[in-house]
Structure 1
Amino acid sequence: MSDKSKPKSTKPSPLDQLKAAKSKDSSDDEPKLSGAEGVKLNSNFLRGTIAEELADDSAGFSSDNGMLLKHHGSYQQDDRDRRAEAKKAGVPGGKYFSFMVRTAIPGGRITSDQFLEHLKLGQTLGDGTLRLTTRQGIQLHGVLKSNLKAAIRRINEVQLTTLAACGDVRRNLMCNPAPYKNDPVYDKLQELAEDLAAELKPNTTAYHEIWLTDSETGEKTNVAPASETKTKDTEPLYGKTYLPRKFKLGVALPGDNSADVYSQDVGFLAVCEDFDIVGYNVLVGGGFGVTPSASKTYAAIAMPMAFIPVSDTNTPAIDVAKAVLKVQRDFGNRSDRKTARLKYLVRNWGLEKFTKKVEEYLGHDLQAPRPMEVIDYNDALGWNEQGDGRWFYGLFIENGRIKDAGDVNLMTALTEICKTMAPPMRITPHQNLIFCDLSDDDRERLEGILVHHGVVLTDDISTTRRWSMACPALPMCGLAVTESERMLPTIMDEMERELTSLGLGDEVFTTRMTGCPNGCSRPYNADIGLVGKTKGKYTIFLGGRRQGDRLNWVFKDLVPEDEVVSTLLPVFRQFRDDRQTNETFGDFCHRLGKDALAT
């Protein structure tokens, strides 16, 4: 980034100030805090100097403000496909900077008007596309710095927010998206997701001051630098330095783990009796981020910590969530961000010690978790009865990318549906879209709009492709080492052909690909995980399962992208020939193990 993008100051850096403040009380053996902790501490509740840099004419933000910006729901990125072009053109910093803006949508529930505004933003302020995320949110890509405030403001004008969609705070709450009506279980799951999102949100007013005040005429937002502002902000839940790392939560059912609760820092798995929720098993310590060069990092499945009964309110669940968050806030690793997630604290302490600390923060003991296992995952695609005489339709959207390209004009089709039919909508954890409250007459009308614009209907999508998903990866993600979203469709084309020829075309199993080991598309509990390892090569993981409650394991490392399917083909054949009755592909691989599978 050019020097012009960085605030000029002779003051010590935030980390230097933090170290100086702690040096009198710290021993030489005490772990040093990471630089991010100093930035947050000195940010005046996430303000930093974002407002000042937002008003200058540079293309990007300084690294400190870029880190703070994540808490406001945006990542600074650059187009890695164009780096050589940018360098040749003499672009400051040698990069074409832009921003990803992420909207947090608890449980993926969104109105047509809200969705339509995002479609407009993608076309006018973004790169012409929209992306549905694996956490049921929406991402705009390619937003220029000069348009960043307008994009965030317009999202808020339709009663949504980007606050805490990223950063060291609770992330978007995930929940089963199927809109079954008059069903107290699904209604209560969505209610809990929304209540948790509201109760665990950051308290800072910096977001409103920076993005939602003043006109959009280009004048500077009226926010003083962090060093000069005497703010009255308080963060009773988070404190001045917020959390050591991201904090993910999800709510689900044993019969429908579409929210993938075992992948979350905290999961609530509903316990039902007589078709109603009587309580939740609370799961703790899930998380999939891995750094291959650091053996201390690993993917982890959440473990059952306790059962909490609920009655007319969600207060018990909210109280437990807050207690777990506070324990992570006070005891999570703030010196090494690679091992700062809750999963490391839970395993370093042991579940018993961790549970006792949560009880201490709660002020009472917790019940032991009830015996339970997940048994299914409902992707909610195709036509389904809602239970109130109406229908919902789940549309498959490959890897969540909404765009107009060639003969497939998905963005135009969705725009027409939002304008003319205006159905309530849900975003699914598999990056798909559900249209709700449809009448019998609406069914033909909806399909007609989609077909007219070249959109393939869900029933015409192969089972193989239906259960696949990928993260964005290249060209915008700075962490990606391989392709993902742009590569998986090609791999699925080949996999479809081979499975069909083997008579396995109707087999249900998850295939998830990421461009790096951070695992944004949750590859580590899938039947097949494809994880970018180095340029053009992937690690193949096998043995997870669709229900999401089991980690997979490395089958083969450093597989070239054009050899992924051929590497899997002997395993598919062995599965066809040696499977047990009704055994799934993931269960087959898990039962045999790596040594017994074809090589």
Structure 2
Amino acid sequence: MSTDYKPNSKLDPNAKFADNERLKTQSNFLRGTIEADLKDQLTGGFTADNFQLIRFHGMYQQDDRDIRPERTKQKLEPMHNVMLRARMPGGIITPKQWLAIDEFAGDKTIYGSIRLTTRQTFQFHGVLKPGIKEMHQMLNSVGIDSIATAGDVNRNVLCTTNPVESELHQEAYEWAAKISEHLLPHTKAYAEIWLNGEKTETTEEPILGSTYLPRKFKTTVTIPPNNEVDVHANDLNFVAIADNGKLVGFNVLVGGGLAMTHGDVNTYPRKADDLGFIPLEHTLKIAEHVVSVQRDWGNRVNRKNAKTKYTLDTFGTDTFKAEVENRAGVKFEESRPYEFTHRGDRIGWVEGIDGKHHLTLFIQSGRILDYPGQPLKTGCRKIAEIHQGDFRMTANQNLIVAGVPADQKDIIEKIAREHGLIDDSHSEQRFNSMACVALPTCPLAMAEAERYLPELIEKTEAILAKHEIPNDDIIMRVVGCPNGCGRAMLAEIGFVGKGPGKYNVYLGGNREGTRVPKLYLENVGEDVYLPALDELIGQWAKERNEGECFGDFAIRKEIVAEVKVSKTDFHA
């Protein structure tokens, strides 16, 4: 079977492909002229196609937007730098690896921080052009790379951390790692450019195709009842089905995605569809052919409609499923029952079935840096220097110190408390709020997110206290644009940036992460949405049913309509 793109029958065969398709076709399997660009000292950035191609190598070109106007006034180009996102399937990192990335972040980046992301990995922000190659070589020396963590490929594979049921988690994690490896690009461009590897000719990409995927592709492995990875935000999800504590297979969910475009009703967030159950031995085959169908049927004309969710809505889920079955030679069985009950991290200590202890540290917005009175980065480094287990980065931007023997608990907790990594004053509202990076580094951000979140949490806490429910919480997420990074479109209250200080406010998601919220207020500032939330939270406090979360209350009271089918309901 050919791995080249075949235009799907739903599109005009004479339609002009998006320019990204030309770029990939002419890139010599993602090499482009990146090496020549690296030697260009006239600019701190990457030019022409290379600006896009470096994404396939795990990097985005950015600049500090806070200082951009001043540099423009001085007739200087923006302070170009790159953000790197590492490939860490399942979010597991060793203390040795942690110490290496800590040192590089402190010595070789503009901002000095390590940032944990909603993709269950870490990012470096602010690496200048002369240090990029050194960064990749440092990562390689400790067994880390950034291959395919961005661009039109399968990205970092997420896995429920689940430190308590250690044996089941280990099995699920191993499958996340296998899926990640199986779906990686075969081109050796990464090693050639960044690691001075031997030049080799690439003639094909057996799974991804010579022009790779139509758009980014995200995959998870999750262990119910925890939905911390937010399966409905991802193209492909393997929901673990266990029998007597042993993994026997997966339910396969396809077609989730949260990105949209302001003002474009043909774009929308969408939940994933359940295609059915597969035994373990078919996992890689099914993963490969969900990808291959999306590769061949996805929209390469309009990138705004190129994600898997739109392919399912164009062809129909049953047709997509049948094609996967045909290519894989595997029939899906009837889905096995499972239930999601929560998706937050259990902050603090828990004990696993193996007798080991696990400490989940809350890291607001995932930003690990030494702040006045809160030297978080130093604290993590001191723990890494003595820790005998591993670390697990969560999809909620937190950090688990996993596999701690009983005789090390006290010293690790002491370090964590002394460095502000444990703060008993934090509310449940703070634990269940999240933001994307946004300003000043993200070029797509329309409004603040990470820098605004602490203030918004405090104001929300005050509203909860005013209505005499200070210990209750609402899953709240703030993002600087509608691209979906902070998963606001699965929140009970989602703020999506529209302009400086202005947000669209969405209500009606649920605790389990199985419902898309709906627009409640459009393009408003604090003067509008804070009084509105004050009124709604007051109503919730007085009129809710026992145990009813805010999102469910908003649907039951018809504050917003329930989004059942995104294509028809989200913009209605």
Per the shorter chain, which TM-score range? Answer: over 0.9
Matched, 1:106 2:69: no
Deviation of the 1:367 alpha carbon: 2.0
SS, match of residue 114 in structure 1: helix
Of 521, 530, 549, which residue of structure 1 is paired with 2:495? 530
Does residue 65 in structure 1 map to residue 30 in structure 2? no
Answering whether residue 139 of structure 2 is matched by residue 173 of structure 1, we say no
Separation of aligned partners in 2, 1:280 and 1:520: 26
| Aligned pair partner of 1:190 in 161, 165, 173 | 173
Q: CA deviation at 1:456?
A: 4.8
Distance, in Å, in 1 between the alignment partners of 2:460 and 2:34 is 47
Letter in 1 for 2:414: G
SS at match of 2:83: strand
Conserved? CA contact 2:153–2:216, under 8 Å: yes
Spell out the pairing of 1:239-250 with structure 2 (5 A cutoff): 239-250=209-220
Pair 1:136 & 2:120 matched: yes
**1:114-153 mapped onto 2 (5 Å cutoff):** 114-126=97-109, 127-153=111-137
Unaligned 5+ runs, structure 1: 1-17, 215-221, 224-229
Indicate which of 263, 268, 273 corresponds to 1:293: 263
The answer to whether structure 1 residue 86 and structure 2 residue 76 are counterparts is no
Change (3 A) 1:390 1:380: same
Deviation at 1:44, TM superposition (A): 0.7
CA contact (8 A) 1:395 1:458 kept: no
Shift of 1:110: 0.6
Instruction: Name stretches of at least 5 consecutive residues in structure 2 with no aligned partner.
Output: 563-572
Q: Quick one: structure 1 residues 346 and 388, their matched pair in 2 at CA, closer, same or farther if it must change by over 3 Å?
A: same
The residue aligned with 2:457 is 492
- 1:571 equivalent in structure 2: 536
1:31 aligned residue: 15
Distance in 2 (CA, whole Å) between partners of 1:555 and 1:281 is 33
Which residue in the other structure is 1:451 paired with?
Answer: 417
Contact 2:479 2:495 (C-alpha < 8 Å) held by counterparts: yes
Confirm whether residue 380 of structure 1 aligns to residue 380 of structure 2. Answer: no
**Percent identity for Structure 1 against Structure 2:** 39
Secondary structure (helix, strand or coil) at the match of 1:574 reads helix
Q: Does 1:425 pair with 2:395?
A: no
Matches of 1:106 and 1:112, distance apart in 2 = 16
Aligned-partner Cα distance in 1 for 2:356–2:15: 59
> Which residue in 2 is equivalent to 1:8?
none
Q: Deviations over 1:530-554 (max 9, x none)?
A: 1101221011111111211111111
- SS of residue paired to 1:40: helix
Alignment correspondent of 2:567: none
Structure 2 residue 359 is matched with structure 1 residue 389: no
- CA-to-aligned-CA distance 1:44-77 (integer Å, 9 cap, x gap): 1100000110122121111310111000000000
From 465, 470, 476, give the equivalent of 1:511: 476
* 1:184 shift after superposition: 3.4
3-state secondary structure, aligned to 1:168: coil
Which secondary structure does the structure 1 equivalent of 2:130 belong to? helix
Q: 1:75 aligned to 2:60?
A: yes
What's the offset of the Cα at 1:509?
2.9
Distance, in Å, in 1 between the alignment partners of 2:170 and 2:388 is: 21
Distance 1:458 1:31 in 2: 57
Matches within 5 A, 1:327-476: 327-453=293-419, 455-476=420-441
Q: CA deviation at 1:29?
A: 5.7
**Residue-by-residue CA offset, 1:156-189 (whole Å, 9 max, x unaligned):** 11101100111110011111113235x4322221
SS where residue 239 of structure 1 aligns? coil
- Contact in 2 for aligned 1:133/1:431 (Cα 8 Å): yes
Contact 1:128/1:403 (8 A) holds in 2: yes
Determine helix, strand or coil for the equivalent of 2:66. Answer: helix
Partners of 1:491 and 1:564 within 8 A in 2: no
> What SS is found at the alignment partner of 1:299?
coil
Q: Per-residue displacement from partner, 1:353-381 (whole Å, max 9, x unpaired)?
A: 11111112112432233354422325132
One-letter amino acid of the structure 2 residue matched with residue 282 of structure 1:
V
Q: 1:579 to 1:291 in 2, by over 3 A?
A: same
Displacement of 1:596 after TM fit? 9.4
Deviation digits for residues 184-237 of structure 1, max 9, x if unmatched? Answer: 3222211111111111111110100000017xxxxxxx86xxxxxx82443111
Map 1:251-330 onto structure 2 (within 5 A).
251-310=221-280, 315-330=281-296
TM-score after normalising by structure 2? 0.93
| 1:258-311 Cα deviation digits (max 9, x unpaired) | 11112110111122332333221111100011001221111001010121123x
Answer yes or no: is 1:164 the counterpart of 2:129: no
Counterpart Cα distance in 2 of 1:556 and 1:458: 34
1:333 deviates by 0.5
* Cα gap change, 1:150 to 1:579, in 2 (>3 Å): same
Cα distance per residue 1:21-40 (max 9 Å; x no partner): x9xxxx98621111001010
Contact 1:382 1:458 (8 Å CA) reproduced:
no
Q: Distance in 1 between matches of 2:404 and 2:128?
A: 37
Shift of 1:317: 1.3
In 1, Cα distance between the equivalents of 2:48 and 2:509?
Answer: 38
Say whether the 8 Å CA contact 1:44–1:231 is kept in structure 2: no
Q: Is the 8 A contact 2:116 2:393 kept in 1?
A: yes
The aligned amino acid for 2:395 is P
Instruction: Report SS of the residue matched to 2:505.
Output: strand
Give secondary structure in 2 for the equivalent of 1:52: helix
Check conservation: 1:537, 1:558, Cα contact below 8 A.
Answer: yes
Aligned pairs, how many? Answer: 552
Q: Which whole-Å CA distance do the structure 1 matches of 2:560 and 2:28 have between them?
A: 55
- Whether 1:549 and 2:542 are equivalent positions in the alignment is no
| 3-state SS in 1 of match to 2:225 | coil
**In 1: Cα distance, 2:163 partner to 2:370 partner:** 28
Q: Deviations over 1:59-109 (max 9, x none)?
A: 111131011100000000011111111112221xx3111100110111111
C-alpha separation in 2, matches of 1:456 and 1:136: 19
The alpha carbon displacement at 1:563 in A equals 4.7
Distance in 2 of aligned mates of 1:534 and 1:151: 34
Query: Is contact 1:394–1:458 with CA below 8 Å preserved after alignment?
Result: no
Structure 1 residue 330 displacement after superposition:
0.7
Counterpart check, 1:480 vs 2:480: no
Letter in 1 for 2:17: L
In the TM superposition, what whole-angstrom CA distance separates every residue of 1:387-426 from its partner, at most 9, and x where no partner exists?
2222100000000001112221111111111123354100
Check whether the contact 2:376–2:421 (CA below 8 A) recurs between aligned residues.
Answer: no
Provide the TM-score with structure 1 as the length reference. 0.89
SS in 2 for 1:376: coil
Cα distance in 1 for residues equivalent to 2:388 and 2:356: 15
Contact 1:284 1:302 in 2 (8 A): yes
State whether residues 491 and 565 of structure 1, in contact with CA within 8 Å, keep that contact through their aligned partners in structure 2: no
SS at match of 2:237: strand
Q: Which moved more, 1:421-430 or 1:279-288?
A: 421-430
Q: Which residue of 1 aligns with 2:565?
A: none
Native 8 Å contact 2:439 2:447 kept in 1: yes
SS of aligned partner of 1:155:
helix
Q: Secondary structure at the match of 1:80?
A: coil
Structure 1 pair 175/51, CA: closer, same or farther in 2 (3 Å)?
same
CA contact (8 A) 2:56 2:148 kept: yes
Change (3 A) 1:378 1:530: closer
Contact 1:44 1:240 in 2 (8 A): no
Contact 1:288 1:298 in 2 (8 A): yes
The answer on whether the counterparts of 1:253 and 1:269 sit within 8 Å (CA) in structure 2 is yes
3-state SS of 2:67 partner:
helix
Aligned partners of 1:264, 1:487: CA distance in 2, in Å?
Answer: 26
Find the aligned partners of 1:322 and 1:28 in 2 and give their Cα distance.
Answer: 27
